């Protein structure tokens, strides 16, 4: 029997319903909130902070800003004015809310130009005592690159899962200001030559020589304009079976068709993916992405049991919202025990920076809130 | 292999599933680049840009591939490859003579450097992890070489280690199962340290001082059914560029210092090297190493060999498409490439161009009677209209050169012998290029030019050939089974290749670090080369497609003190390193020109297409470093005069 999913029942709110949720939550009792966000050029950076801290309530309100430098040649430097504007906006929100402010500096690249962002951010949040005094820790990934928020959320989930069950309240939430239009306007530049497995998941375990012959199942969650990344991750993973995850339903009803057309050559000519391997999951529900991935991988594991099971690789190459689903799936598969445990890697390729095209219309982002641990899952614990 | 519509899209041979298909698609030409005499005697360093073919070359020497090749020795499709590999000594008529153990160095090792461990401990863990994986690889490979099964036949392996050379934690003697368990435990313990979200300071194994498994192999400690392993061990380390600089040094030192009897081949991408190493390529050659084989450089020394090698690969892939498809796919790549510019439908255009050019030249002679004899000689030229056209255009170039040089007020009549002296192959090639530009004739077509456009990189060639084959597939599909196989006209070939080149260049800001700087600089160099090439007197016939920095100034780019003092030079050095690593520029060092020594930087041939430049080597212009840095920072302004007026 396939084990139950950790987030089979989940808490996901968006837009006005999300705001109502925060109002209700903060009105219930005193809550001490730590809001963690990245400092970047993305105009969505402060949307969540403004909404959540604008929901009132009593208790401490602290902000932890993650500063990361992409290097002197990063294309993101050309948006330093946008970043400065965001920083100013952040300062205003912090001042008007009477919030405490702390910063953590996250080195992304070592002296010899290797990617160390994942380890750096995990190291920056290594002390559980840092969260003991907060009832709610909110991680806003709107302006954080994937190479940082994946290991950050994995680390926080691990720490939260290890907190003693002494009746104290510790909730972990993730928020993201979602806008497919703005996502399409941001392009990676200076993509790294090689992909890597992100820290926080079974990177080294996945690459063991002892289990090299185990079949590898790759589940890329596809988004637009990721051809180069797809090629590089493919070189790293060398999968035996590929199950692309496409968004359906989606804001654009033909989004999955468009993605098939965009990646037709690599999917069907180069990789010869079986069309029936394609998985569809709602663009607006990361928990559905999570569910589809976990179930698919577990089914493969059972089917391939005569070959000693399989390893799974997840790649999040789409919107941040869908990417969260991939993250949760990887976390659950890694942390499962017994016959449900799967060695899972998260294959990712970083970029030096980002270029920003002008968005085609002035679409406002929608704020999504996911609760990952804490009170709403107390029954499960 | 599952049905394959366009086999050219299967770019990475190392990902091909079956041994038979891998061998079918493997072009044997690359084996000519290995040392002729006992390539397995000393360490070899194999380098190339991405897609150069390193991994496929290493994979060839793994036991299962070699066994398959021996089994297929009678099959005509594999005969040439079998003979080449046998010549190298890797196989004989019945058995495998080399046991290749292939390890990918991109896996896990770099993470050891990020744990915050003291350097000696990190190095020891590196050696231990390598030892664990070499042991596992050896167990698998020796069973494969003996045609036994892994892991079922591990019990038939005996590991008998000399008592003064123990492997920590492994009791000797032991069988293959115990050796495997030892290696798996060691590997697991190190991986646990790496994956842990807790600080790793005191956890994990002690590690090893050196590569202890190599010593074990040297001593013949591994036996199968109590018999020593007869074939020679060959350790194949791939993707060494993924190690950190310290790890690469540690590995090289260990491989050299240990002077192991086990041969080690190290394959690394050019982009691994630091800018200093890239600009100083060739630094490794010496008595302690075998050859440093830079695949692209080796091909450049013999372009015809590359052309032949990739033509073979292309034919094999096309044949594969014909074998598996429904019957519509062309069965030969050469057959779809039309190289004929003398077909009847082109003759009228060529004749019109001939009339234009000959009229132009005759008019020059009318005003300058000293050229009358030269003009008359051209009127006597035999050959088809295209050959005559090239002859007339060559004459126009030679006259222009003469006019620019001559200061004399008397004009003596010039004889035919003088013309013959000046009318060399360079002038003819320049004439062909200028005619293509002036009259819109295709220039980049045909098997030879396609091979040139591959820029000595197999992946680049396959990508371009794949685009052409895709067009042929589409045409075949529309045509159905009736009629002759599709043939791509020179014009269509050029269009497809131009589009491919454009997208590759325009994609650079995304594809590579400092990609935007690199793209801008390449565009500037291309524009400069075009200005120099398209002058009426074609001064550097057939044209220019490279620049050169003096070896003296190159030293500045290698001097950390100078680079620290000058940010622009440092940025330029990084730009060059990226361009070299990605095969966008090719470097030739220490070329002597006018009593000075130069580093020549040739454009990738695909860039030559974009700027309508010739594909030869040898045409370059020297430029001071500060000018090139200025181009990087401010762009290039073409001179007021100098481009060919059409």
Dump pLDDT digits (tens) for A281-312: 999 999 999 999 999 999 999 999 888 889 99
Q: Is B119 on the interface with A (CB under 8 A)?
A: no
Q: With contacts defined as CB-CB under 8 Å, which chain B residues touch A154?
A: 197
Q: With contacts defined as CB-CB under 8 Å, which chain B residues touch A207?
A: 107-108, 191
What part of B 517-546 touches A (C-beta under 8 Å)?
517
Q: Residue A1's pLDDT is what?
A: 46
- Across the interface, of B9, B132, B515, the residue whose CB is closest to A189 is B515
Q: Is B41 on the interface with A (CB under 8 A)?
A: no
- Across the interface, of B133, B184, B512, the residue whose CB is closest to A190 is B512
Its pTM stands at 0.84
d(CA B330, CA B472): 7
Q: Is B300 on the interface with A (CB under 8 A)?
A: no
Interface contact A269-B9, CB threshold 8 A: yes
Q: With contacts defined as CB-CB under 8 Å, which chain B residues touch A192?
A: 513
Q: What is the pLDDT of residues A203-227, one digit of tens each?
A: 788 888 888 888 999 999 999 999 9
A97–chain B nearest CA distance, Å: 34
- Strand-strand pairing, A100-107 and B157-159: unpaired
What's the average model confidence in pLDDT over A77-83?
84
Question: Number of helices (H) and strands (E), helices first, in chain A?
Answer: 13, 16
Q: With contacts defined as CB-CB under 8 Å, which chain A residues touch B517?
A: 73
Residue A215, Cα to own-chain centre: how many angstroms?
Answer: 26
Q: Name which of A175, A168, A165 is nearest A132 in CA terms.
A: A168
| Rounded percentage of chain B residues whose pLDDT exceeds 90 | 43
- Strand-strand pairing, A366-373 and A11-14: antiparallel
- CA angle B550/B553/B554 to nearest 5° reads 85
> What is the C-alpha end-to-end distance of chain A, expressed in Å?
20
Across all residues in chain B, what is the average pLDDT?
A: 86
A175–chain B nearest CA distance, Å: 24
Residue B325 predicted with pLDDT over 80? no
Interface contact B513-A235, CB threshold 8 A: no
What dihedral angle (degrees, nearest 10) is formed by the CA atoms of B340, B346, B349, B354?
Answer: 50
What's the average model confidence in pLDDT over B547-562?
90
d(CA A43, CA B163): 67
Q: Which of A201, A270, A274 to mutate to test the interface with B (most CBs of B within 10 A)?
A: A270
What's the average model confidence in pLDDT over A95-99?
90
Q: Residue A381's pLDDT is what?
A: 52
Residue B571 predicted with pLDDT over 70? yes
Tokens of B374: 């030269």
A343: Cα within 13 Å, side-chain hemisphere: 22
b/e B226-241 (16+ beta carbons within 10 angstroms → b): eeebebbbbbbbbbbb
A155–chain B nearest CA distance, Å: 7
Q: With contacts defined as CB-CB under 8 Å, which chain B residues touch A266?
A: 9
Q: Which of B50, B101, B108 to mutate to test the interface with A (most CBs of A within 10 A)?
A: B108
Q: Residue A75's pLDDT is what?
A: 75
Q: Is B108 on the interface with A (CB under 8 A)?
A: yes
Residue B277 predicted with pLDDT over 60? no
Confidence band for B86, pLDDT divided at 50, 70 and 90: very high
Q: What is the pLDDT of residues A369-378, one digit of tens each?
A: 999 999 988 7
d(CA B357, CA B364): 11
What's the average model confidence in pLDDT over B572-582?
87
Q: Name which of B237, B260, B229 is nearest B165 in CA terms.
A: B260
Q: Could you give the 3-state DSSP secondary structure of residue B543?
A: coil
Question: Residue B141 is inside which H or E element, if any?
Answer: helix B119-145
- Across the interface, of B11, B197, B245, the residue whose CB is closest to A122 is B197
What dihedral angle (degrees, nearest 10) is formed by the CA atoms of B476, B479, B481, B483?
Answer: -110
What's the average model confidence in pLDDT over B398-403?
91
Is B267 exposed, middle or buried (CB count within 10 Å of its CB: 0-12, 13-18, 19+)?
buried
Q: With contacts defined as CB-CB under 8 Å, which chain A residues touch B574?
A: 73
Instruction: State the sign of the Cα–Cα–Cα–Cα dihedral B473, B478, B481, B482.
Output: negative
Tokens of B471: 């067009």
Q: Residue B630's pLDDT is what?
A: 95
Nearest CA in chain B to A236: B106
d(CA B209, CA B206): 10
B640–chain A nearest CA distance, Å: 33
A335–chain B nearest CA distance, Å: 13
Nearest CA in chain B to A234: B15
CB B545: neighbour CB atoms within 10 A? 28
Q: Are A289 and A326 in contact (CB under 8 A)?
A: yes
Q: Are B496 and B344 in contact (CB under 8 A)?
A: no
What part of B 411-450 touches A (C-beta under 8 Å)?
none
- CA angle B44/B49/B53 to nearest 5° reads 65
C-alpha dist (Å) from residue A249 to A289, A293, A367, B135: 12, 16, 19, 50
Q: Is B151 on the interface with A (CB under 8 A)?
A: no
What's the average model confidence in pLDDT over B34-49?
84
Question: Residue B496 is inside which H or E element, if any?
Answer: helix B490-506
Residue A152, Cα to own-chain centre: how many angstroms?
Answer: 9
- Across the interface, of B106, B242, B244, the residue whose CB is closest to A112 is B244
C-alpha dist (Å) from residue A360 to A257, A378, B166, B580: 21, 44, 68, 37
Q: Which of B150, B154, B195, B247 to mutate to test the interface with A (most CBs of A within 10 A)?
A: B195
d(CA B462, CA B27): 12
B155–chain A nearest CA distance, Å: 17
List the single range of A67-76, A195-204, A264-273, B351-360 with lowest mean pLDDT: A67-76
Question: How many CB pairs (< 8 A) connect A and B?
Answer: 109
Task: Look at the block and give the residue holding tokens 């698609």.
Answer: B25
- CA angle B309/B315/B317 to nearest 5° reads 105
CB B637: neighbour CB atoms within 10 A? 10
d(CA A154, CA A200): 6
SS3 per residue for B215-252: HHHHCCCEEECCEECCCEEEEEEECHHHCCHHHHHHHH
Residue B279 predicted with pLDDT over 70? no
Q: Residue A65's pLDDT is what?
A: 96
Interface contact B4-A236, CB threshold 8 A: no
Alpha helices in chain A (DSSP H): 15-28, 47-53, 80-97, 117-124, 129-132, 146-162, 180-185, 203-206, 227-237, 255-262, 264, 286-303, 320-335
Interface contact B114-A268, CB threshold 8 A: no
Choose between B639 and B280: higher pLDDT: B639
- Across the interface, of B110, B199, B513, the residue whose CB is closest to A190 is B513
Q: Name which of B267, B278, B304, B310 is nearest B586 in CA terms.
A: B278
Confidence band for B409, pLDDT divided at 50, 70 and 90: very low
C-alpha dist (Å) from residue B280 to B310, B391, B561, B638: 29, 43, 17, 31
- Across the interface, of B2, B132, B510, the residue whose CB is closest to A188 is B510
DSSP letter for B89, please.
T
Q: Residue B220's pLDDT is what?
A: 85
Confidence band for B482, pLDDT divided at 50, 70 and 90: low
Q: Residue A87's pLDDT is what?
A: 93
Q: What is the pLDDT of residues B431-466, one digit of tens each?
A: 999 999 999 999 999 999 999 999 988 889 999 999
d(CA B539, CA B455): 24
Confidence band for B273, pLDDT divided at 50, 70 and 90: very low
Residue A325 predicted with pLDDT over 60? yes
Confidence band for A121, pLDDT divided at 50, 70 and 90: very high
Q: Is B69 on the interface with A (CB under 8 A)?
A: no
A138–chain B nearest CA distance, Å: 21
Q: Which of A156, A158, A196, A209 to mutate to test the interface with B (most CBs of B within 10 A)?
A: A209
Q: Could you give the 3-state DSSP secondary structure of residue A158?
A: helix
Q: Residue B216's pLDDT is what?
A: 86
DSSP B424-483: -HHHHHHHHHHHHHHHT---S-HHHHHHHHTTT-HHHHHHHHHHHHHHHHHHHHHHTTSS
Residue A321 predicted with pLDDT over 70? yes
């Amino acid at each position: 029997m396939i084990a139950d999913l950790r987030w089979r029942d989940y808490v996901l709110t968006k837009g006005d319903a999300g705001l109502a949720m925060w109002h209700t939550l903060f009105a219930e009792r005193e809550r001490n909130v730590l809001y963690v966000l990245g400092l970047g050029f993305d105009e969505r950076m402060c949307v969540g902070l403004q909404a959540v801290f604008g929901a009132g309530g009593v208790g401490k309100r602290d902000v932890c800003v993650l500063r990361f430098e992409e290097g002197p040649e990063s294309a993101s430097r050309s948006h330093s004015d946008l970043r400065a504007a965001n920083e100013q906006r952040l300062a205003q929100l912090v001042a008007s809310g009477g919030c405490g402010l702390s910063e953590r500096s996250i080195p992304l690249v070592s002296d010899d130009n290797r990617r160390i962002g994942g380890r750096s951010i995990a190291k920056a949040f290594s002390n559980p005592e840092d969260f003991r005094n907060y009832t709610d820790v909110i991680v806003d990934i709107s302006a954080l690159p994937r190479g940082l928020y994946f290991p950050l959320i994995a680390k926080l989930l691990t720490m939260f899962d290890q907190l003693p069950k002494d009746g104290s309240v510790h909730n972990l939430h993730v928020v993201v200001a979602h806008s497919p239009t703005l996502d399409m306007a941001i392009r990676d530049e200076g993509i790294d030559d090689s992909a890597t497995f992100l820290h926080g998941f079974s990177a080294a375990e996945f690459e063991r020589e002892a289990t090299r012959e185990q079949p590898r199942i790759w589940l890329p969650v596809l988004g637009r304009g990721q051809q180069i990344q797809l090629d590089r991750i493919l070189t790293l993973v060398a999968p035996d079976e590929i199950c692309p995850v496409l968004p359906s339903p989606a804001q654009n009803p033909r989004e999955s068709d468009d993605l098939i057309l965009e990646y037709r050559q690599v999917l069907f000519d180069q990789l010869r993916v079986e069309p029936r391997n394609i998985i569809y999951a709602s663009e607006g529900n990361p928990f559905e992405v999570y569910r589809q991935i976990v179930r698919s991988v577990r089914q493969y594991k059972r089917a391939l049991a005569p070959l000693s099971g399989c390893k799974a690789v997840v790649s999040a190459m789409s919107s941040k919202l869908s990417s969260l689903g991939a993250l949760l799936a990887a976390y659950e598969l890694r942390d499962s025990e017994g016959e449900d445990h799967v060695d899972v890697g998260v294959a990712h390729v970083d970029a030096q920076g980002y270029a920003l095209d002008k968005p085609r219309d002035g679409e406002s982002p929608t704020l999504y809130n996911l609760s990952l641990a804490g009170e709403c899952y107390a029954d499960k614990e | 292999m599952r049905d394959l519509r366009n086999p050219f899209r299967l770019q990475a041979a190392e990902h091909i599933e079956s041994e038979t298909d891998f061998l079918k698609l493997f072009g044997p030409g690359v084996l000519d680049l290995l040392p002729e005499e006992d390539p397995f005697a000393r360490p070899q360093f194999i380098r190339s840009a991405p897609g150069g073919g390193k991994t496929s070359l290493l994979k060839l020497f793994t036991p299962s591939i070699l066994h398959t090749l021996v089994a297929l020795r009678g099959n005509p499709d594999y005969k040439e490859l079998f003979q080449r590999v046998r010549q190298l000594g890797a196989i004989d008529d019945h058995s495998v003579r080399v046991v290749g153990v292939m390890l990918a160095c991109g896996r896990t090792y770099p993470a050891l450097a990020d744990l915050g461990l003291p350097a000696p401990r990190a190095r020891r863990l590196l050696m231990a992890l390598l030892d664990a994986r070499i042991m596992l690889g050896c167990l698998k490979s020796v069973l494969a070489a003996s045609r036994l099964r892994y892991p079922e036949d591990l019990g038939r392996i005996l590991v008998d280690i000399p008592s003064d050379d123990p492997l920590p934690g492994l009791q000797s003697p032991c069988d293959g199962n115990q050796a495997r368990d030892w290696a798996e435990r060691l590997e697991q313990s190190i991986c646990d340290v790496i994956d842990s979200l807790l600080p790793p300071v005191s956890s994990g194994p002690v590690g090893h001082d050196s590569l202890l498994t190599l010593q074990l192999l040297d001593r013949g400690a591994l036996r199968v059914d109590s018999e020593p392993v007869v074939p020679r061990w060959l350790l194949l380390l791939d993707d060494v560029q993924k190690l950190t600089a310290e790890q690469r040094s540690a590995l090289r030192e260990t491989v050299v210092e240990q002077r192991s009897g086990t041969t080690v081949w190290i394959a690394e991408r050019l982009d691994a090297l630091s800018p200093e190493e890239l600009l100083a390529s060739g630094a490794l050659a010496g008595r302690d190493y075998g050859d440093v084989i830079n695949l692209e450089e080796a091909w450049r020394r013999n372009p015809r060999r590359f052309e032949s090698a990739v033509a073979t690969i292309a034919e094999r892939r096309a044949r594969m498409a014909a074998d598996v498809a429904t019957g519509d796919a062309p069965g030969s790549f050469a057959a779809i490439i039309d190289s004929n510019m003398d077909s009847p439908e082109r003759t009228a255009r060529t004749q019109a161009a001939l009339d234009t050019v000959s009229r132009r030249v005759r008019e020059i002679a009318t005003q300058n009677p000293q050229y009358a004899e030269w003009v008359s000689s051209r009127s006597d030229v035999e050959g088809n209209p295209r050959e005559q056209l090239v002859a007339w255009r060559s004459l126009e170039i030679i006259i222009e050169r003469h006019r620019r040089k001559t200061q004399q007020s008397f004009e003596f009549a010039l004889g035919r012998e003088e013309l013959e002296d000046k009318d060399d192959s360079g002038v003819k090639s320049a004439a062909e290029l200028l005619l293509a530009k002036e009259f819109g004739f295709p220039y980049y077509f045909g098997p030879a030019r396609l091979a040139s456009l591959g820029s000595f990189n197999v992946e680049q060639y396959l990508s371009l050939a794949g685009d052409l084959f895709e067009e042929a597939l589409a045409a075949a599909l529309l045509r159905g089974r009736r009629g002759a196989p599709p043939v791509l006209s020179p014009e269509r070939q050029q269009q497809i290749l131009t589009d491919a080149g454009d997208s590759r260049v325009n994609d650079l800001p995304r594809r590579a670090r400092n990609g935007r700087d690199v793209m801008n600089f390449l565009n500037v160099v291309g524009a400069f080369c075009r200005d120099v090439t398209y002058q009426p007197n074609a001064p550097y016939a057939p044209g220019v497609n490279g620049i050169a920095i003096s070896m003296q100034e190159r030293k500045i780019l290698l001097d950390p003190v100078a680079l620290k003092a000058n940010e622009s030079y440092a940025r330029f050095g990084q730009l060059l390193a990226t361009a070299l690593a990605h095969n966008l520029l090719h470097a030739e060092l220490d070329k002597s020109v006018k009593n000075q020594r130069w580093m020549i930087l040739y454009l990738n041939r695909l860039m030559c297409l974009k700027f309508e430049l010739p594909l030869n080597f040898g045409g370059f212009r020297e430029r001071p470093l500060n000018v090139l840095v200025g181009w990087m920072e401010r762009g290039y302004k073409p001179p007021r005069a100098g481009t060919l007026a059409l």
